[in-house]
Structure 1
Amino acid sequence: MGILTVIEDRPTPPQVYNWRIYLLAAVASCASCMIGYDSAFIGQTVELQSFRDEFHFEEWSVTKQNLVKANIVCLYQAGAFFGALFAYPIGFYCGRKWGLWITGIIFTLGAGLMLGANGSRGFGLLYAGRVLAGIGVGSGSNLTPIYISELSPPAIRGRLVGIYELGWQIGGLVGFWINFGVSQHLPENHEQWIIPFAVQLIPSGLLLIGVVLIRESPRWLFGRGRRQEAIKNLCWIRQLSEHEVYIVEEIRAIDQAIEEQNAQIGTGFWNPFQAAGTNPRVMWRLFLGFMLFFWQNCSGINAINYYSPTVFKSIGITGSLNQQMSGIFGVVKTVVTGLWLLFLIDRVGRRNLLIGGAIGGSISLWIIGAYIKVKDPEHNPTAKLDSAGIMAIVFFYIYTAMFSPTWNGTPWVLNSEMFDPNMRSLAQAVASSSNWLWNFLISRFTPQMFAQMGYGVYFFFATLMIFSVFFVFFFIPETKGVPLERMDRLFEMKPIWRAHGCIIVQLREEEAEFRSAIQDFTLYNGKSRDEFVETA
């Protein structure tokens, strides 16, 4: 059992785990690079002295400075909230592939607008560009996980959707260190702060180029009645012929799921809305997806992402060391996200990761908050950190190492896989908009929270992380290795904490029956396996 070994729901040809599936996931995940970069660079860029000088921050009160910084940050999240909802009609009518292309165009236009901002023009172009870019990334946060999950074999679906999260962290890592580089090596002028804004165009450019080369989601094509194109794309992605048993089984499962959905929900644009309003089971699952992002943002991670200088200052770290610590924060997140993607998500499972990450993260935040309460380093600065201060920094990075491979990406994986094909786009729109709603609220009020609550901010987030443990244990079933077309059955099983084991046993029994049918058919009819497959 190697580090990349996976547990399969059925025998899978090795060709299925090929380079094409990883390439498609990587191209789509350029959208998450755009998101991650912004979350890392914007909080540090507005703290650059060149930015503050150009927009005359020193002429304002501290309250107004906090308000302007919060507006610059949170307008992006406000745009992303509406972009996540806007992605539903784009994905429904245009598909996943061209929906991602539209996402890249919108984001690029927004990033270009930001480059026109300067001291004489004021914040108008900057605000408008932040909203437009937010609409782009909000759409991308909806479409990318759906696209990847619809391409993925069940055994590595978590790993592939995890590439979306890895792209987020790589973008964040670049964002942290770009700011450190310009602050250390460029003079304090307009170019110093505009360069971090310009770098946003790199991931969006890669997305626009890459989308032209990727294939449309076969599951979306099946749903639109474009059967031959769907089979062709599926065979290309799996590197198997359409007569292979694995492909026949997959097509059979997709057809069955679409047939059931046509009978229960329908395929029209408004049918998922009607199903959500009339079917309590669908509404419950939408609520679970919505709440997963509530708990994710209530961990405090986005307060740290967007305002890392403020966070490190509260621990007692200032000057260039503050920026270096922010950069190391980005490195830790990226490294542990890689471990999550390669090993944890498809072996440890979704539930265990969320529960373990919440417990470890909460303990770390309690310790950090206690240190700040006792020492109050921001108001009692020292020339050198003492052992208690070093301990607080260690636990800050332990918190990061606990959160990043658990709550950072796992809610995206869960929301991309726990809905039926016809509900998937609407459900992802609800989940993504939930993420950006809570993201907006956190980014909007974090400066005021630190100003008013001090060490209490850490206790606040630590308490909410403990509550999330109970939510996951009682309401979220394990989904690893379960085909997308069997999620309805999974969520109907009780109790929740035993549902995964039960459905895996059922799937293996069904697989054995199907393969036994192949043997019986070929034995009693004197036909080859390929003839049976064609008949099936």
Structure 2
Amino acid sequence: MDGQRKFYVVAITLVATLGGLLFGYDTAVISGAEKSIQAFLIDSQGLSTWIHGVTTSSALIGCIIGGAISGILASSMGRKKSLQLAAVLFFISALGSGYPEFLFFPEGEATISLLLMFNFYRVIGGIGVGLASAISPMYIGEIAPANIRGQLVSLNQFAIIFGMLVVYFVNYGIANGQTIEWINTIGWRRMFLSETVPAGLFGILLFFVPETPRYLALNHQDDKAFSVLTKISGHDRAKQVLAEIKATVEHHSGKLLSFGKTVIIIGILLSVFQQFVGINVALYYAPRIFESMGAAKDASMMQTVIMGLVNVVFTVVAIYTVDKWGRKPLLIVGSAGMAIGMFAISGLAYFEIIGISTLVFIIVYTASFMMSWGPITWVLIAEIFPNKIRGKAVAIAVAAQWTSNYLISSTYPAMMEFSGAVTYGFYGFMSVLSLIFVWRFVPETKGRTLEDMEALWEKKK
């Protein structure tokens, strides 16, 4: 691929990865605000720990909805317009979460109705996250040439982690040097409102990218598909790729089980294991975890920033190795590292050992996830499904992922009340199961075109 074409593909990819950045930003912004939300909307009304867990995780309800409808929207509206809808939802959620009293409630007066309205805006943002989480990697996967597809789809995970890192800095900057009272009344609002900036930028830039050639070909817009493919791959290669796409479109009905149950089950289990290893507990509750280990408020926020930096570094490791080493080796190594980290944290919790060792093993765990299950799951979900069923199958896999995320995140506070050692031990056990699953059932997709996946699953039917 010459320099001009590569620049074109990378530029398009970077715009699409803003959906990933907003995914990360929206899901992690709660980490800095959740204690203030607890003080303002939960404790002030004498509500339970369970309500706190549900409120902290409420965006995940929207994520499940967004993931579930992503296939319908991606197939009917197209990949590009679906991402534009996600950008609008992100923007509305940022405004509403920061000022849930808008129009209907007096400012600063906590009521059950205001709590419901706050959760409503978080659900709206969650729908945007669900759409972006499914469609951003799908868009990149359908644009990218096979030889660099793993790297480009992994950039979406880098954007997710970078979005989390950015919001950690934003939250730290807003809270630094301020009193608890100020953070609990004003600071948390600014944390949510800050998301309007990347959401607006994403919405604007999407006007300047094309629809994917595979979606265009599926909808009989061959001339437009060929034009985009030519800009990506050159005239001769574009003709070959378009012919392969058309062949996969014509030979199958597009029914979900056209290629058997195995590919759907593998897609679902990839999503479930990505969440059952407990990563979003570390991301959503990071400051609280560090505070529970004895860190002061400012120190806990800074340790969260350090963890975010580690996450970025190890996601870069995945980007540079996914198309060299393959998907399976990275997943297997990552599962082993996560198991070591979580079992160690479980042991430290059991013996009530608090200190730098806990931070070290949290970093071992998150680094292992970020160089494996974080990006590689999205790469596989974007590429293992054949063209004709990709929209539906990705929607099912992503909905399963967000359902699992919600179950893990919303039950964490109650599980920790029961036993920290058991909680972290459970995540370690899930890491071991994820290793066995990948080793036995997940196919290697390195270097295969999206059209090659049809032949692979035909053999396995």
Q: TM-score, normalised by structure 2?
A: 0.92
Q: Secondary structure at the match of 2:324?
A: coil
1:221–1:230 contact (8 Å) kept in structure 2: yes
1:58 Cα deviation after fit = 5.3
Partner of 2:103: none
Task: Give unmatched runs, 5+ long, in structure 1.
Answer: 1-12, 266-270, 378-388, 495-536
2:26–2:125 contact (8 Å) kept in structure 1: no
Query: Are 2:241 and 1:253 aligned?
Result: no
1:43 alignment partner, one of 27, 31, 39: 31
Letter of the structure 2 residue corresponding to residue 57 of structure 1: D
Of the structure 1 ranges 483-492 and 226-235, higher mean CA displacement relative to structure 2 is found in 483-492
Aligned residues: 449
Q: For the residues of structure 1 that align with 2:418 and 2:26, how far apart are their CA atoms?
A: 26
1:36 Cα deviation after fit = 0.6
Q: For the residues of structure 1 that align with 2:42 and 2:439, how far apart are their CA atoms?
A: 50
Q: For the residues of structure 2 that align with 1:392 and 1:405, how far apart are their CA atoms?
A: 20
Partner of 1:152: 144
2:347 alignment partner, one of 348, 354, 370: 370
Q: For the residues of structure 2 that align with 1:227 and 1:426, how far apart are their CA atoms?
A: 22
Q: C-alpha offsets along residues 195-247 of structure 1, whole Å, 9 cap, x if unaligned?
A: 11011112211211111000110111111111111111111233x2x3x2x22
1:176–1:330 contact (8 Å) kept in structure 2: yes
1:7-406 mapped onto 2 (5 Å cutoff)? 13-15=1-3, 18-48=6-36, 51-55=37-41, 57=43, 60=46, 64-117=47-100, 118-120=107-109, 122-187=114-179, 188-189=181-182, 190-238=185-233, 240=234, 242=235, 244=236, 246-261=237-252, 265=253, 271-272=254-255, 275-276=256-257, 279=258, 281-341=259-319, 343-377=320-354, 389-406=355-372
Instruction: Give the RMSD, CA atoms, in angstroms.
Output: 2.0
1:315–1:372 contact (8 Å) kept in structure 2: no
Letter of the structure 2 residue corresponding to residue 467 of structure 1: L
Q: Secondary structure at the match of 1:216?
A: coil
Closer/same/farther in 2, CA of residues 491 and 313 from structure 1, 3 Å limit: farther
1:37 Cα deviation after fit = 1.2
Partner of 1:502: none
Task: Give unmatched runs, 5+ long, in structure 2.
Answer: 101-106
Q: Tell me which structure has the larger Cα radius of gyration.
A: 1
Q: For the residues of structure 1 that align with 2:215 and 2:342, how far apart are their CA atoms?
A: 43
Q: For the residues of structure 2 that align with 1:164 and 1:426, how far apart are their CA atoms?
A: 20
Q: Secondary structure at the match of 1:410?
A: helix
Q: For the residues of structure 1 that align with 2:45 and 2:227, how far apart are their CA atoms?
A: 63
Q: For the residues of structure 1 that align with 2:422 and 2:17, how far apart are their CA atoms?
A: 36
1:149–1:157 contact (8 Å) kept in structure 2: yes
1:445 Cα deviation after fit = 0.7
Q: For the residues of structure 1 that align with 2:283 and 2:84, how far apart are their CA atoms?
A: 27
Q: For the residues of structure 1 that align with 2:437 and 2:326, how far apart are their CA atoms?
A: 16
2:339–2:431 contact (8 Å) kept in structure 1: yes
Q: For the residues of structure 2 that align with 1:318 and 1:489, how far apart are their CA atoms?
A: 56
Letter of the structure 2 residue corresponding to residue 204 of structure 1: A
1:284 Cα deviation after fit = 1.7
Q: C-alpha offsets along residues 97-128 of structure 1, whole Å, 9 cap, x if unaligned?
A: 11111111122222222232253263232111
2:18–2:202 contact (8 Å) kept in structure 1: yes
Partner of 1:441: 407
Q: For the residues of structure 2 that align with 1:53 and 1:363, how far apart are their CA atoms?
A: 35
Closer/same/farther in 2, CA of residues 143 and 59 from structure 1, 3 Å limit: closer
Letter of the structure 2 residue corresponding to residue 251 of structure 1: L
1:314–1:372 contact (8 Å) kept in structure 2: no
Closer/same/farther in 2, CA of residues 334 and 24 from structure 1, 3 Å limit: same
Q: For the residues of structure 1 that align with 2:220 and 2:45, how far apart are their CA atoms?
A: 62
Letter of the structure 2 residue corresponding to residue 286 of structure 1: I
Q: For the residues of structure 2 that align with 1:294 and 1:119, how far apart are their CA atoms?
A: 39
Q: For the residues of structure 1 that align with 2:299 and 2:162, how far apart are their CA atoms?
A: 21
Q: For the residues of structure 1 that align with 2:271 and 2:14, how far apart are their CA atoms?
A: 23
Q: For the residues of structure 1 that align with 2:243 and 2:162, how far apart are their CA atoms?
A: 38
1:16–1:153 contact (8 Å) kept in structure 2: no
Of the structure 1 ranges 368-377 and 473-482, higher mean CA displacement relative to structure 2 is found in 368-377
Q: TM-score, normalised by structure 1?
A: 0.80
Q: C-alpha offsets along residues 400-434 of structure 1, whole Å, 9 cap, x if unaligned?
A: 21111101111111011011111010011011101
Q: Secondary structure at the match of 2:242?
A: helix
Closer/same/farther in 2, CA of residues 318 and 493 from structure 1, 3 Å limit: farther
Identity of aligned residues (%): 28
Partner of 1:454: 420
